[in-house]
Amino acid sequence: MIAQVCDHTLNKKLCGTVLETGGTASDFPGLARIALKAAMANASAIFNHVNDLAHTATPDPFVRQCLADCSDDYQDAMDQIEDSLAAIDSRGYDDVSAWVGAAMNDADSCEEGFKSKMGYSSPLTDMNAAFHEICTVALAVTNLLIEM
């Protein structure tokens, strides 16, 4: 099952790692739960990191606002992943797909906030990209469930 899912992703190695280290699953909904739990753990770690940065950030008001926005973005992302986990159990796979996509957009919004002003770069670029990649694994499983 893992190989079947990971064949639908660009980063097959990450996909395999996420699905193999997240526990055991006997079906595709179980694999979706594993991927969503990995996305949740990642989003939570980023949320905590953003809040730590906010407490130690430079007094630059732009950076502080970007970090506050990222904190909100990742809170929203965690809520959407949580809703997705509940939707798996009720076979609401289209909802899962929409909410995971929205969570990915939240990470993109966080990243773009820093880039909106010349001369600034995000201290979260790598973390945002990793979250995005983990979400693509959840979407790959969800898309298979939708097709079934």
Domains of the chain: total: 1
Least confident range of 36-40, 55-59, 112-116, 134-138: 55-59
* Average pLDDT over every residue of 106-118: 91
Q: What is the mean pLDDT of residues 5-30?
A: 86
Alpha helices in the chain (DSSP H): 2-6, 12-21, 28-56, 61-89, 93-115, 125-147
pLDDT at 26 over 90: no
CATH of the domain at 71: 1.20.140.40
| CB 144, CB 8: distance < 8 Å | yes
d(CA 77, CA 12): 23
Domain that holds residue 39: 2-147
